[in-house]
Amino acid sequence: MSFKIVFMGTPSFSVPILKAINNSNHKILEVYSQPPNKKNRGLKVQNSAVHDYANKLNIPVRCPVTLDEESEINYFKNIKPDLVVVVAYGKILPEKLLNIENLIFLNIHASLLPRWRGAAPIQRAILKGDKETGISIMKIVPKLDAGPVLIQSKLSINKDTNYEEISKKMSDLGAKLIIDAIELIKNNKANFIPQDESKVIYAKKIEKIESKINWHESADEILAKIRAFYPNPGTWFNLNGARIKITKAIEAERTDKAGVIIDANKMIIACKKNAVQILELKKEGKKLMKVNEFLKGNKIIIGQNLS
């Protein structure tokens, strides 16, 4: 028996999961994604990554501004899905949609729930220095990311792992696990386990101000921020009136007043504890470059304070 499935997702993270379901013996009735946005300086209208991929598969795409309208609820009922799979859709599903009889809503969440419920679980795990994270597939309930969990699988986070790398691994893992989850439901073997509310931690949305470097933090904290915010929104500081985005750096066991340039040849900057040696950066309006290439045309001075 194959399931009729509605898929709800928006960013590139969701695409491998959509692909996996499409390649299975289950049928995707419809794809829901966020409405197209105007992006970049030309304000060209762009579809989401999921929208574009669904178009390639010739799967109908629906982009409602809201799901609260009665017409949207009725549309959902009329296409009669057996299952709804949600992956980074970007909207909270209304309770009246979740209450449609005999319909399970599954969410693929990028953390080991109940740790890091919310909008930015991967970034928060890296920032906190977690040694592991993973994928949780759970039943959606009205409370944010609070539903019982069907399957979890772990991934390690090492000192060099950045957001882009771990996100790709988690997306591929989610693509594998969703097929396992669907099979459990299809064969009446699904066992949804309630989350331990005493262990809940929330992963709040990343604010723009967080991406600016505070040299009064430790080198370890700053390096975690660089990895957590790569490639977007990026981690930056001001140098001689220009914004500099750091894309790669290492820790140096050097000390000085926080924010002071210790070594002008290797671009080592003191932090609250130890120092950061920048390896790769991007000056505002310029291309990405190695630090030695940057220093050929940009003079910095030992003792210069960047705080």
Which tens digits make up the pLDDT trace of 170-194? 999 999 999 999 999 999 999 999 9
Residue 216's identity, in one-letter code, is H
In the chain, the N- to C-terminal Cα span, in Å, equals 63
9: CATH: 3.40.50.170
Output the CA torsion 137→138→139→141 (10° steps). -130
DSSP three-state, residue 283: strand
What CATH number does the domain containing 261 carry? 3.10.25.10
pLDDT tens across 70-114, in order? Answer: 999 999 999 999 999 999 999 999 999 999 999 999 999 999 999
Last residue of a domain, one of 184, 203, 222: 203
Range(s) of the domain holding residue 289: 208-297
Cα–Cα distance, 197 to 189 (Å, whole number):
25
Q: Are 108 and 180 in contact (CB under 8 A)?
A: no
Instruction: Give which of 178, 168, 143 is closest to 5, Cα–Cα.
Output: 178
| Domain total in the chain | 2
On whether both 179 and 145 belong to a single domain, the answer is yes
Q: How far apart are CA 134 and CA 124, in angstroms?
A: 13
Q: What share of the chain in percent tops pLDDT 70?
A: 98
* pLDDT tens for each residue of 196-252: 999 999 999 999 999 999 999 999 999 999 999 999 999 999 999 999 999 999 999
Q: Is residue 59 part of a domain?
A: yes
Q: How many CB atoms lie within 10 A of CB 182?
A: 25
In this prediction the pTM is: 0.94
